Amino acid sequence: MENNALALRAINTIRFLSVDAVQKAKSGHPGTPMGLAPLAYLLWTKYLRYNPANPDWTGRDRFVLSCGHASMLLYSLLHLTGFDLTLDDLREFRQWGSRTPGHPEAGHTPGVEVTTGPLGQGLGNAVGMAMASRIMAQRFNRPGHEIVSHRIVALCSDGDLMEGIASEAASLAGFQRLGNLVAFYDDNRITIEGSTDLAFREDTAGRFRAYGWNVLHVADGNTDLAGMASAIEVAFSERERPTLVIVRTSIGYGSPNKQDTAAAHGAPLGEAEVALAKERLGWPATPAFLVPDDVLAHFREALTRGEKAEKVWRMKFAAYAAAFPALALEWERRMWGDLPEGWVEGIPTFSPEAGATATRSASGKVLNAIAAKVPELAGGSADLSPSTDTVIKIGGEFLPDAEPGGRNIHFGVREHGMGAVLNGMARHGGVIPYGATFFIFSDYMRPSIRLAALMGCRVVYVFTHDSIGVGEDGPTHEPVEHLASLRAMPNLNVVRPADANETAAAWRMALERTTGPTALVLSRQKLPILPPSSVYRGDGVYRGAYVLEDAGDGRPDVLLIASGSEVSVALAARKLLAEEGVPARVVSMPCWERFEEQEAGYREAVLPPSVPARVSVEAGSTFGWRRYVGDRGASVGIDRFGASAPAERIFRELGITPEAVRDRAKSVLAAIRKGVRT
Ligand SMILES: Cc1ncc(C[n+]2csc(CCOP(=O)(O)OP(=O)(O)O)c2C)c(N)n1
Ligand SMILES: [Mg+2]
């Protein structure tokens, strides 16, 4: 390995592009790119397989910067190697409308695989990508035709490895023996508050070995390029286990007063210190954003290397397509993200005569029907598949020793890790991932759900046991604020179906949605099945809310708006009101977000502005319902924690009953007629 002058200047170019961009932005993280520049240089000029001219080439290695605060490291590399990211883009670091936001954002900057910043998530994403890659390899590779052979390479920091999510994901990766995964740990022993001696002194190598990882060390990640290169080569030749390469580096390397201190982490070095660092490393003081021509030419060899690598892969794929035309078509379709022709044909319709059915059970039937037609659907639960009904019966097991091709994933009791893995699978492509747990434990995966929404990942969450309907397990297991809380999240669709038929529609909506995640919120308890003719009338269910049962003449005095299990409560309340001569309309509203996407005409036809008497019914926090019930309406819901008792008793005690809804509707109407507010 040549420790030559050009390599050193290339490394310094990465360092000072990062330093100058942070300085110009007057904010950012200069120290980590300075410390990681040598490792990143080696990976991006010698070892990673990618094509800057086609960042989406499906045969590429996936690079994940888990320590997203070091974004300038990635932006510098993307610019230098010839991705569509200019020096001016780097000059615009962290500015409004720029392609170089503070933390890397997938879909925003070419070459950024996943959105990172919340520590630990990126490592989880990398594990998910490695799992997706294995799923694709098992499905598509044939002897002599290995079209899936890329690696997943992650960089992570002290903070990444302190986060619990990293432990969950790394434990799963070790168990799964993901030999296509290599993580580099930037062991700089500095975090924001100072030395890692303040809070993190564990034996990281021992910990990862215990997870089943291969662990390598590089003692000097600042200057020993040869040592790093040989560690990379060993890591890249391992196929049986994931590898962690622990690289000892110096944050702020080259900065005379800030190297190896927390001061180099999250603030510009300052003009004076920038000058000193440039002097120390033999770098011209000016101009800022200096990229020497020979250095640029050296980095831009990535373009020819990448083009060649992609061409080799394309030839391989052409031979594959000739030998296995049907598989090649499936590969293209899946990587494109298209669903197969006729995929909805097997989705069942449920007849009311079938008797009451829990929406979780209906979901299990629908999932299996879809999985039979959609081979890319793969997932599982955090150790709750018998309860969440999320096993693909014909799917086989995704286990290191099982028959290849398994699609049922056992995430173990690792909700947060599961959330990040699902995002990585979705970003990898070729797989539509789903993950299940009790709705209450959506809290344990919320940070990953948020990133799925931010990245626009097609991920399906199957959240069952959705309310006090859980019953005897009590308040620890009874979601209350979860619907409101998830509805508050942009770009997440929350669907709480009222019955088996709405559940079928919900799954369909989830799979058809390519721009973000969908949470299916399902009941443990049995619910009556609504007539399919009402649910599907006018595509109502797909519009997020629709008139399920109307006042006889279509001129209701009061609107009852409900979701999930409370739709039945609203239907019963409507009958009670009718007995008293009060015409009521029941609106089933499984998905607020879909309803908001409808044109005003539809929304007003469902919720006529001329009817101010409105009552929402939902076994959860009333927070947010005012949007639909308005100032003069009321909400029947639960603004306290639940209780441990048979479910029916809790519903009664907490007032989620037809009688309570009827009474509330009457008092709302009376108040409106008297001209007072409730
Ligand atoms: C989940 C999460 N918590 C807190 C932060 C804020 N934060 C950013 S970097 C960092 C720690 C920095 O230490 P390290 O991870 O070792 O990175 P280094 O400074 O060495 O680059 C923290 C706490 C974050 N980004 N994500
Ligand atoms: Mg650190």
How far is ligand 2, taken at its centre, from the CA of residue 281, in Å?
A: 22
Residue 675: pLDDT band with limits 50, 70, 90: confident
**Whose Cα sits closest to atom 16 in ligand 1?**
158
The answer to whether 14 and 37 have CB atoms below 8 angstroms apart is: yes
Task: Confirm whether 415 is a catalytic residue.
Answer: yes
| Closest CA relative to residue 595, chosen from 545, 558, 550 | 545
Phi first, then psi: what are they for 437, rounded to 5°?
-165, 180
| CB-defined site of ligand 1, < 6 Å | 32, 67, 69-70, 117-119, 157-160, 163, 188, 190-192, 251, 265
Give the number of the atom of ligand 1 that is nearest the alpha carbon of residue 191.
Answer: 13
- pTM metric for this prediction: 0.98
How long, in residues, is the chain?
678
186 Cα: distance to centroid of ligand 1 (angstroms)? 12
Contact (CB, 8 A) for 432 and 376: yes
**Joined tokens for residue 110:** 């070419």
Nearest CA to ligand 1 atom 21: 32
**Residue 677 pLDDT grade (very low, low, confident, very high; cuts 50, 70, 90):** low
Q: At 457, which amino acid appears?
A: C
pLDDT digits (tens, 9 = 90+) for 521-542: 999 999 999 999 999 998 999 9
- Residue 554's pLDDT is 83
Could you say which of 415, 549, 566, 593 is catalytic? 415
pLDDT of residue 520: 98
Mean pLDDT across the chain: 97
| Closest atom of ligand 1 relative to the 162 alpha carbon | 15
Model confidence pLDDT, tens digit, residues 14-46: 999 999 999 999 999 999 999 999 999 999 999
Whether the upstream peptide bond of residue 433 has omega within 30° of 0, thus cis, is no
**Tens-place pLDDT, residues 614-643:** 999 999 999 999 999 999 999 999 999 999
The whole-number pLDDT of residue 210 equals 98
115 contacts 62 by C-beta, under 8 angstroms: no
Average pLDDT over residues 433-438: 98
444-456: average pLDDT: 98
552 — pLDDT class (breaks 50, 70, 90): confident
d(CA 397, CA 395): 7
Which residue bears the tokens 């790093």? 228
Task: Compute, in angstroms, the gap from residue 159 CA to the centroid of ligand 1.
Answer: 5
pLDDT at position 3 over 70: no
Locate the ligand 1 atom nearest the alpha carbon of residue 188 and give its number.
20
Q: Whose CA is nearest to atom 13 of ligand 1?
A: 191
pLDDT 10s digits, 485-531: 999 999 999 999 999 999 999 999 999 999 999 999 999 999 999 99
Helix/strand/coil (H/E/C) assignment for every residue in 472-516: HHCHHHCCCCHHHHHHCCCCCEEECCCCHHHHHHHHHHHHHCCCC
Q: Which atom of ligand 1 is nearest to the CA of 68?
A: 25
Percent of the chain with pLDDT over 90: 98
For residue 2, pLDDT beyond 80: no
What would the pLDDT profile of 193-216 be if each residue is shown by its tens digit?
999 999 999 999 999 999 999 999
pLDDT value of residue 553: 86
Q: pLDDT band at residue 580, thresholds of 50, 70 and 90?
A: very high
Asked if pLDDT for residue 118 goes beyond 50, the answer is yes
Average pLDDT of 300-319?
98
Residue 32 CA, ligand 2 centroid: distance in Å? 8
Nearest ligand atom owner, CA of 36: 1
Confidence of residue 1 (pLDDT cuts 50, 70, 90): very low
**What span, in angstroms and rounded, lies between the C-alpha atoms of 54 and 89?**
19
What value does the mean pLDDT take over residues 42-65? 98
For residue 68, which ligand has an atom nearest its CA?
Answer: 1
Identify whether the C-beta of residue 112 lies closer than 8 Å to the C-beta of residue 106: yes
At residue 78, does pLDDT exceed 50? yes
Q: Which of 18, 27, 67 to mutate to test the pocket of ligand 1 (most atoms within 8 A of CB)?
A: 67
For the CA of 72, the nearest ligand: 1
